[in-house]
Amino acid sequence: TDRRNQTVMFDTLEDWRDELERTKGNVKYKAVTTNEGYRVSEKLPLYFVVPICVSEESILQYEGRGIPIWCWSCHNGAALLKMSAFPKEQDDSTSQMQKAFLDGIYKTISNPPYELLKTDDLSSSLPSLQDIQTAYTRFKQLFLIDNSTDFWATDVKWFSLLESTNWLEIIRRVLKKAIEVTECLERQHTNVLLIEESATDLCCVISSLVQVMMDSYSRTKLGFQSLIQKEWVIGGHGFLDRCNHLHKSDKEEAPVFLLLLNCVWQLVQQYPPAFEFTETYLTVLSDSLYVPIFSTFFFNSQHQRDTNTTGESLKTQSNPFRFLTVWDWSVQFDLKGQAFLNNPLYAEKPKPDKSQRKTARFKHQRQLSLPLTQTKSSTKRGFFREETDNLIKNILGKRIGKFINSSDEPPNSFREFYDSWHSKPVDYHGLLLPRIDGPEIKVWAQRYLRWIPEAQLHGGGTIATAAKILDLMEEVQSLQVKMDEEHSQAISRDVHSVPLLRDSPRLSSLFPFASLQRQSIKPALPTSTWKDLEDEDDLVKRDDEFVDLSGDML
């Protein structure tokens, strides 16, 4: 099987070495086998990547804690790293030893050939897991609606209720943090070390978002699935505890992975041509989180998965137990269903000519970065050359091993970077920055409103556009088959079939999760008056009428 057309599982040493080569990170980083047999820690994966200068003894000393683990390398050489922190409550002697150990690690990875290093403790700069769980619980309650009466009563104060949950604000803060990390990597050419107690929750969210924003490969279907495998499944996110699959304890439950998908959805709906997959793909992926036949999102670690795969209780079975992977979408959907997971408007990356390849790469880097050398001044607002030159001088004037603290950066650094990027045309295969101001952060309507008939747009929504495009694709492919049949009768008409959606006006914005069944009429009277009239009028009690939209076209 061609590995290029498969999701990379990152369960072999070769997978990590290939990823290092793809990102050009193999010059400064190495894949290690120190944890084979889980002799370092059961929480760590069998294989992972660390800076070349980090020794095996250092990894073994504190069971992997305090060790910077590589996530991804930027095109300019800067890298994104993560590290599990030491417990805060320690006796003085232990704390001193751990501090000395960390100082040695920081000093080692701050020397050439490594870039300057900036650390970011996510436990202090982002909401806690308890805050995330509380906000999501409140947010989820808004969509647990039993009838039309409740829907329209809630609709009157929808925006105030939505704001009070704080869920969209958490999404905005997480996206803002990802942009800040991107700025360090892209503009300042600075390594970023994300720190968290276990480095398996918010570290996974931020590292994944940064790669989706900076690496166009992560915006393809296979690339995104490989990213989830690398950062979440093999990276050790505790799906079993965070999703509370076994309903043992609510204390560990937190929708961390759903938070990532909500953030990615914001990017998908803001820049649809940049993604090979659709919002429907993200929706069914979020559903698959709770389908227990898949091992992908069921365990807390690779060790737990391996133990349950090869455990003693399974050896008594006549046939070996085989876990299914969620990435095999044919398990859940037929070909027609899988067609809705792929974006027909995806702007595929053109393959440059060999003669232009070097020039194109130079242009790509210049396009993404602020100028570091004397170049022609930009006429557009955002590329402040003088400020950039001063920043470079300040950085180069410092000792290499010194950390860059937030106080050393220009106060408007984030806003300049953000406004500068948004003032220019979007390169769908370059850097993507989400719009995070005000109402730009939206509710993921398809996921949360799909079971509420009152919220659907009859004959509308993104599915109406997708239906027309799929119809055109079917026509083109049908013509192609007819042309090919002139040369060979062996080609079947069923190959590469695409679902026919001729009756798209009868669909709704909730398709393919719900088809058009009924229409709910918003009451003309104020809600309070409407409720008072329940006993006197049949407005509420009457059955919603089915409206035939087959003759209406958008």
Q: How many CB atoms lie within 10 A of CB 493?
A: 11
Q: In the prediction, which pLDDT does 383 show?
A: 36
pLDDT at 97 over 70: yes
Q: In the prediction, which pLDDT does 371 show?
A: 38
Q: Name residue 352's beta-bridge partners.
A: none
Global pTM? 0.80
Q: How many CB atoms lie within 10 A of CB 98?
A: 18
Categorize the per-residue pLDDT at 313 as very low, low, confident or very high, splitting at 50, 70 and 90.
Answer: low
Give the DSSP H or E segment for 195: strand 191-196
Q: In the prediction, which pLDDT does 114 show?
A: 83
Mean pLDDT across 174-184: 97
Among 54-58, 214-218, 412-416, 512-516, whose mean pLDDT is lowest? 512-516
Q: In the prediction, which pLDDT does 311 show?
A: 58
Note the pLDDT tens digit of each residue in 216-261. Answer: 999 999 999 999 999 999 999 999 999 999 998 889 999 999 999 9
Q: Cα torsion at 262, 265, 266, 271 (round to 10°)? A: 170
Q: What is the distance between the alpha carbons of residues 367 and 433, in angstroms, rounded to a whole number?
A: 14
Give the DSSP H or E segment for 120: strand 117-121
Distances (CA, A) of 517 to 52, 450, 543: 61, 13, 12
pLDDT at 277 over 90: yes
Note the pLDDT tens digit of each residue in 146-160. Answer: 888 889 988 999 999
Note the pLDDT tens digit of each residue in 541-553. Answer: 444 444 444 444 4
Q: In the prediction, which pLDDT does 400 show?
A: 34
Q: In the prediction, which pLDDT does 4 show?
A: 60
Note the pLDDT tens digit of each residue in 202-211. Answer: 999 999 999 9
User: Is-cis flag, bond preceding 320, omega within 30?
Assistant: no
Domain ranges of the chain: 13-341
Q: How many CB atoms lie within 10 A of CB 285?
A: 22
Q: In the prediction, which pLDDT does 81 show?
A: 96
Categorize the per-residue pLDDT at 522 as very low, low, confident or very high, splitting at 50, 70 and 90.
Answer: low
pLDDT at 90 over 70: yes
The DSSP bridge pattern shows strands 117-121 and 191-196 to be parallel
Whole-number mean pLDDT of the chain? Answer: 81
